[in-house]
Structure 1
Amino acid sequence: MGVKGFVEGGIASIIAGCSTHPLDLIKVRMQLQGESAAPKAELHNLRPALGFQTTTSQLGRGLPPPARVGPITVGVRIVQQEGVAALFSGVSATVLRQTLYSTTRMGLYDILKKKWADPRTGTLPLASKIGAGLTAGAIGAAVGNPADVAMVRMQADGRLPIAQRRNYRSVGDAIGRMVKEEGVTSLWRGSALTVNRAMLVTASQLASYDQIKEAILANGVMKDGLGTHVTASFAAGFVAAVASNPVDVIKTRVMNMKVEPGSPPPYSGAMDCFLKTVRLEGPMALYKGFIPTISRQGPFTIVLFVTLEQVRKLLKDFWN
């Protein structure tokens, strides 16, 4: 019974992750906009790419970074400057990440939900669902962090000047080079943030989906079918996006930072990144990329749960 939950969750997660990968890439690029810790050379090269003119004197005076652009503009410029295939940069890392992280969290959540359910009614209180989500998310994130680091770097690579790009060929190449060049510990860079984000996402996403779906069915609003699944999953995606975006911004920046030999890292840790981001860019910088986050989280969650429900139906007759 336990293995079935992992298989169902893994299949649904991989399909959802691959189908919404371009939106996730745009989100990452937007979260890195205006990053104050970026080298001046990178900022100088990035501004013209975004349609702004920058002079050396402006950089020297420490003027603020270019105005942020929206997700559609970011997407169009990625296609114009890097080609359509760039929208799927890091998709191999997404597949590995979903295989490790999402399969683990979905399977564990299913096990905990069944184990903690009332044996008489089969129901589980919201608090217990949240607890199951927090636990499953933490374990899944710890398992999948290497793929998460590789995915962020591969997605962000195109925004760097050509000379500074890492040019990973695949997720395997990314992980191998990280171990060789930066040590094994680099695979778990930002792991505390990944775990915190995963706990928030899993608890808010899975628990709210179950709770909203149960409420819809209990109140007779809709029958158990596609309409219910889409409604509950979209609402769950919105809740997850609001809860996780601040942590996601910091996670993206810490994972993506490039440490030059002999130089101190741009951020000493998550808290340092948080303080620099808020101090130099304002509190709302923590919600950079929110539009693509919800634009991705909504479809991702819908595809995830609709696919999950269909996979459950298909496997029901073959795997009890």
Structure 2
Amino acid sequence: MGFKGFAEGGIASIVAGCSTHPLDLIKVRMQLQGETLAPVPALRPALAFPGSATVAIPQPALAPPRRPGPIAVGRQILFAEGPAALFSGVSATVLRQTLYSTTRMGLYEILKTKWSSSTSTTGGAPTIPLYKKITAGLISGAVGAAVGNPADVAMVRMQADGRLPMAERRNYKGVGDALGQMVRREGVRSLWRGSALTVNRAMIVTASQLATYDQAKEAILRKGLMPDGLPTHVAASFTAGLVAAVASNPVDVVKTRVMNMKVEKGAPPPYAGALDCALKTMRAEGPMALYKGFIPTVSRQGPFTVVLFVTLEQVRAILKDF
């Protein structure tokens, strides 16, 4: 299994990542909505009376504007930045999938094979208890995230750049330029900004996604609902995508905001860390802000997971004799 598992997972991940990149970009833009809003009470002109102190009268608070949904955000990107903007940061996505997903997919297969029972099989494949699948997912997700964090930071920044005013945009030319600018302006440590969040999210996503897929596929085959083929792969992968989206969205929102924050020299960062970001987000926008971008997360995670596992099964079939 060794190297072949990494190659199979890497190919499937790159195909899935590139094909669903526009949905991921919309998700990132939605997760950043409202972040820069800092409501300050507006004051009416001061009232002054002879012999009295000047008094400023606060105006009634205005209701916050309704934020656009995923379709509206997608239209905004198309009209304001052009069709090519939907693939902003795609080079970072390729690098991220090459580093992060190749590592987590390959390592998961190694651990799963090592811990599998040699006697219990389902559909010809060794099976292991669910808790071992989850453990394998947690370990492989953590390692993959640590390896791929620089590409993850670059991807988030490149995807978010178009929402900024022209004077504030970073205008990265590609993932290499993004990584180079971060090192020159913010130091090497900036490449691992939000790495704790990335690792936590990757552990949650990998454990829920890969373990759910294997468990769902085994259940379908064991109960004889469908044969081992495309319909089974689609059903199991869609289930895995839904579970992964529900489990990971709060961590994903915080990760996106921490990675995207601008840190000026001599000024304190907007967020002191993940917990600070989560608390500030909930205080300013309410607890459900942690599920901001959930619809595009599901819309992206579902197709991504389906493409990932369907492609993976096809690549495995092609490479089975190698």
TM-score w.r.t. the length of structure 1 is 0.91
Q: Match for residue 53 of structure 1?
A: none
- Structure 1 residue 285, shift from structure 2 partner: 0.1
Q: Match for residue 66 of structure 2?
A: 67
- Structure 1 residue 120, shift from structure 2 partner: 2.2
Q: Match for residue 49 of structure 1?
A: none
Please, which of 303, 307, 314 is the counterpart of residue 299 of structure 1?
303
> Per the alignment, do residues 202 and 153 of structure 1 end up closer, same or farther by CA in structure 2, a change over 3 Å counting?
same
Segments of 5+ residues of structure 2 without an aligned counterpart are: 41-58, 121-125
Q: Match for residue 210 of structure 1?
A: 214
Equivalent AA in structure 1 for residue 69 of structure 2: G
Q: Distance in 2 between matches of 1:260 and 1:298?
A: 37
Q: Distance in 1 between matches of 2:60 and 2:190?
A: 34
Q: Match for residue 282 of structure 2?
A: 278
Q: Distance in 1 between matches of 2:266 and 2:293?
A: 32
Equivalent AA in structure 2 for residue 171 of structure 1: V
Q: Match for residue 34 of structure 1?
A: 34
Q: Distance in 2 between matches of 1:63 and 1:254?
A: 28
Q: Distance in 1 between matches of 2:63 and 2:127?
A: 53
Equivalent positions of 1:148-297 (< 5 A) are: 148-297=152-301
Q: Match for residue 141 of structure 2?
A: 137
Structure (1 or 2) with the greater helix fraction: 1
- Structure 1 residue 67, shift from structure 2 partner: 2.0
- Count of residues paired in the alignment: 299
1:114-170 CA-partner distances (Å, limit 9, x unpaired): 000112223200000000000000000000000000000000000000000000000
Q: Match for residue 82 of structure 2?
A: 83
Q: Distance in 2 between matches of 1:63 and 1:141?
A: 42
Segments of 5+ residues of structure 1 without an aligned counterpart are: 41-59
Asked whether the 8 Å contact 1:36–1:277 carries over to 2, the reply is no
RMSD: 1.6
1:6-55 CA-partner distances (Å, limit 9, x unpaired): 00000000000000000000000000001147799xxxxxxxxxxxxxxx
The alignment-based identity, stated in percent, is 78
> Per the alignment, do residues 218 and 146 of structure 1 end up closer, same or farther by CA in structure 2, a change over 3 Å counting?
same
Equivalent AA in structure 2 for residue 77 of structure 1: Q
- Structure 1 residue 62, shift from structure 2 partner: 8.0
1:229 is paired with a residue whose SS is: helix
Q: Match for residue 119 of structure 2?
A: 120
